[in-house]
Amino acid sequence: MATEGLVVRRISWALPVWLRSLLALTLVAVLLFLLALGLRATRLSLHIDEDGVSTHLHTHAQTVSAALHGAGIGLYPEDQVTPPLDAAVEPGMIIQIKRAMPVALTAEGQVRQLRTHAVTVGDLLAEAGVPAGAGDEIRLNGAPSSPAAPLGTGAAVRLRRAHTVNLRSGGGRQTIHTTDETVGELLEDHGIALYPEDRVSPGMGERLQEGMTIVIERSLPVRFEVDGRTLRGRTLSKTVAQALAEAGIALVGQDVVQPALSAPIRSAMTIRITRVREAIEVAFEEIPFVTIWVADAELEIDHTRLAQEGQEGMFKRRYRVRYEDGQEVGRVLEDAWQEQAPITKTLAYGTKIVVRTLELADGTTLEYWRKMRVYTTSYTAASCGKPRTHPRYGYTRLGWWLTKGVVATDPTVIPLKTKLWVPGYGLARTSDTGGGVKGKFVDLGFDEWNYESWHWWTDVYLLTPVPPRSEIRWVLPDWPRYPDRRR
């Protein structure tokens, strides 16, 4: 044997380096191949059934858990595996995996993401420790459901516990079984209408609790009549005063409220506010001044001057006035006095007579003591209104025959028998009057055969002798009035 070993070493030493490397690599490959054949011969063949889907698996794992891990199959704690994970792997073994379904459960104020093997909604609730009770509301995927309803993957289950609550409203009482979570939901779901002014206790957002009592204080409709407007509203106030304060209606001074402020509120009550105020008012009344005339011997007749300017006086009265809703309902005179006395207007009229001379066109001169502008008309016996058969037909008031040179005047202005010179007419003497001859008016007489029509203003001259002062009308009347041509 020693000889054989010696021969081998000698042969190896005699081979080239590259051949020795090739032989070494070949030897390694042969060894690896033999090892693989051994491993293949020792591996086990298995079947995995995952929710009805079968997969073939070859493994050298010793346990079910290792086999699944080696196959890259992850598990949730709720998944069911048969045989158990710690069971030894055997040839031809069938591993069954039953996946738990993911579901969402909302119950008792909590939202939980679960995985379950429950078949029905009731099974899920029992499994989660929140079994449904009588009257509880179950919703599956948002729709009303029941404990017997089948589950599905990704199902959303909502459980709302039923509460027994007491409701008091307007003197009535009732017991309600509900799955609503808040007071507001309960009132809305049961069609209980509220006005904004109604009061609910506990508040609308409060969560319902078993045996809770909900009290609704109903507001009452009221109407306010104030400041010319009608306001409608509702109130929880107990008295009229509280209702006004709640509505923001302020009372001022002597305002009157009907009914009284202490009156209790009744349904559909009308509350009227009458705005009352008192004011002090002073009324002014003018006192007209008086105009008097005084004679002035230094002033020529038919001239005037203002001796004293007149001024109106002032009389005052102070009243206490009561207004209701802006309308005066009464006033009381508290005082009256003359604030200022009127000042009399004094006009001076001339009483100085100046005799002047009027030269006529033929050289004749006449003396006159007064020149007067009068409105002149003309008339004859036929225009006097008497028939020819009348015994006074053609005669003047003084019994003179009506002819040219006889004129009618207002005897209070130009006395009868006064001598006149009327330019364009001639000498005349007043001996007649007439119903329409008033003031500064002269009606010129004519015979029927020589009648001339006169209808305009004319300056007439009153001739000497000057009559007694007692017969002179110093201030002439203002009628008829000479027209102002500037107008």
Angstrom distance (rounded) from CA 216 to CA 204 = 11
**Are 378 and 446 contacting, i.e. CB atoms less than 8 angstroms apart?**
yes
**Are 293 and 349 contacting, i.e. CB atoms less than 8 angstroms apart?**
yes
- Phi and psi for 436 in degrees, rounded to 5? -100, 0
309-323 CB burial, b ≥16 within 10 A, e <16: ebeeeebeeebeebe
**Are 458 and 374 contacting, i.e. CB atoms less than 8 angstroms apart?**
yes
Task: Reply yes or no: is the peptide bond before residue 259 cis, omega within 30 of 0.
Answer: yes
Which tokens in the block code for residue 316?
A: 């005052």
**Are 314 and 287 contacting, i.e. CB atoms less than 8 angstroms apart?**
yes
425 Cβ contact list (under 8 Å, min separation 6): 376, 404, 444, 454
- What residue type is 62 in one-letter code? Q
**Are 75 and 81 contacting, i.e. CB atoms less than 8 angstroms apart?**
yes
Query: What pLDDT was estimated at residue 134?
Result: 67
Which tokens in the block code for residue 142?
A: 């948002």
CA angle 294, 295, 296 (to 5 degrees): 120
Instruction: Say how far residue 389 (Cα) sits from the centre of its chain.
Output: 89
pTM: 0.48
Question: What are residue 232's DSSP bridge partners?
Answer: 223
| Residue 370, CB-side half-sphere exposure with 13 Å CA sphere | 26
Task: Reply yes or no: is the peptide bond before residue 83 cis, omega within 30 of 0.
Answer: yes
**Are 135 and 179 contacting, i.e. CB atoms less than 8 angstroms apart?**
yes
Query: What pLDDT was estimated at residue 33?
Result: 63
Distances (CA, A) of 439 to 79, 287, 302, 431, 477: 139, 30, 15, 16, 6
Tens digit of each residue's pLDDT, the chain (487 residues)? 443 443 344 444 456 777 777 877 888 676 666 555 544 545 788 888 877 788 888 888 889 888 788 778 888 888 788 888 888 888 878 888 888 889 898 987 788 888 888 888 888 888 888 888 767 878 888 888 888 889 878 889 888 777 788 898 877 888 887 877 888 988 888 888 888 888 899 988 988 887 889 999 898 999 999 998 999 989 989 999 999 999 999 999 889 999 999 999 998 999 999 999 999 999 999 999 999 999 999 999 999 999 999 999 999 999 999 999 989 999 999 999 999 999 999 999 999 999 999 999 999 999 999 999 999 999 999 998 899 999 999 999 999 999 999 999 999 999 999 999 999 999 999 999 998 999 999 999 999 999 999 999 999 999 999 999 999 999 999 999 988 654 4
- The per-type count for the chain, helices as H runs and strands as E runs, is 6, 30
Angstrom distance (rounded) from CA 301 to CA 369 = 9
Looking up tokens 């017969």 gives 471
Question: What are residue 137's DSSP bridge partners?
Answer: 160
Angstrom distance (rounded) from CA 487 to CA 438 = 25
Query: What pLDDT was estimated at residue 6?
Result: 36
Angstrom distance (rounded) from CA 3 to CA 144 = 97
475 Cβ contact list (under 8 Å, min separation 6): 293, 304, 349
**Are 40 and 86 contacting, i.e. CB atoms less than 8 angstroms apart?**
no
What DSSP line would sit under 119-134, residue for residue? Answer: SBHHHHHHHTT----T
Looking up tokens 């508290």 gives 334
